[in-house]
Amino acid sequence: KHCASKDAPGVQENAAAALANLADDPTCRERVSSCGGLEVLVNLLNNSQTDSVVACAAAALGNLADDDQNRVSIAKVGGLEPLVRLCASSINDSVLESSAAALANLAYNDDNRKRIAQLTGIEPLVWLCAHSKSEAVLESAAAALGNLAYYNDLNRIKVAETGGLQALVSLCEEWSSEAVLEAACGALRHVVYNNDSNRMKFVKMGGLDL
């Protein structure tokens, strides 16, 4: 209830962080959802003006999205829209990391992959991969692009058209972080899968030399 109340931001932050930690357990994920927790967390994304609260709420939704039914439910209560908006507008790395990571988990659902793309969610993730200096943000954004491209050719094309292919190749060339490299290489795997145009672009970019 403290997430939903008019409590001070510090109370809301700690309550949302507690939900994020509890969401590691499958039983707790189901319980949070059945108690209306998804709606409360989405409300924080839409209305809180405090970055730390928003980051914790996004992290909680991301952990709760480690569940097939919750991925559907989060989309139904309007969770995709604020997460995409935050990736496009926030300048806070904690918010960006948590929001992109949440989209990555939500994108394991086919309908969510389509909807995130319709909301122009691919473009800000590509921008983050191309411009962010935060290892955590890069890892989450690259992972989200990879999941969005998974078995979705329209999204693969969109990732390439918006500069995502080049951004991912550049991450592999310029970063030594194992987490960033794993996410970027995984994304490239899905972006070039079964798409001859993207494969040709990848080769021309020097991708075979990575």
Q: What is the pLDDT of residues 55-71, one digit of tens each?
A: 999 999 999 999 999 99
pLDDT, residue 206, reads: 83
The answer to whether the CB of 22 falls within 8 A of the CB of 28 is yes
Mean pLDDT, the chain, integer: 94
For the cut 80, the answer to whether the pLDDT of residue 185 exceeds it is: yes
Token pair, residue 125, equals 């993730």
The answer to whether the CB of 56 falls within 8 A of the CB of 81 is no
For the cut 90, the answer to whether the pLDDT of residue 47 exceeds it is: yes
Percent of the chain clearing pLDDT 70 (strictly above): 96
Distance CA 164, CA 184 (A): 10
pLDDT, residue 89, reads: 98
Q: SS3 for 14?
A: helix
The H or E element spanning position 146 is helix 135-149
- Residues 115-168: pLDDT tens digits? 999 999 999 999 999 999 999 999 999 999 999 999 999 999 999 999 999 999
The answer to whether the CB of 128 falls within 8 A of the CB of 145 is no
Percent of the chain clearing pLDDT 90 (strictly above): 90
The answer to whether the CB of 65 falls within 8 A of the CB of 106 is yes
Tokens 């008019």 correspond to 6
pLDDT, residue 134, reads: 98
Distance CA 115, CA 95 (A): 21
Chain center to CA of 30: 21
pLDDT, residue 8, reads: 85
- The predicted model scores a pTM of 0.95
pLDDT, residue 9, reads: 87
> What count of other Cβ atoms lies within 10 Å of the Cβ of residue 169?
20
Closest of 29, 97, 27, 32 to residue 58, by C-alpha? 97
For the cut 80, the answer to whether the pLDDT of residue 108 exceeds it is: yes
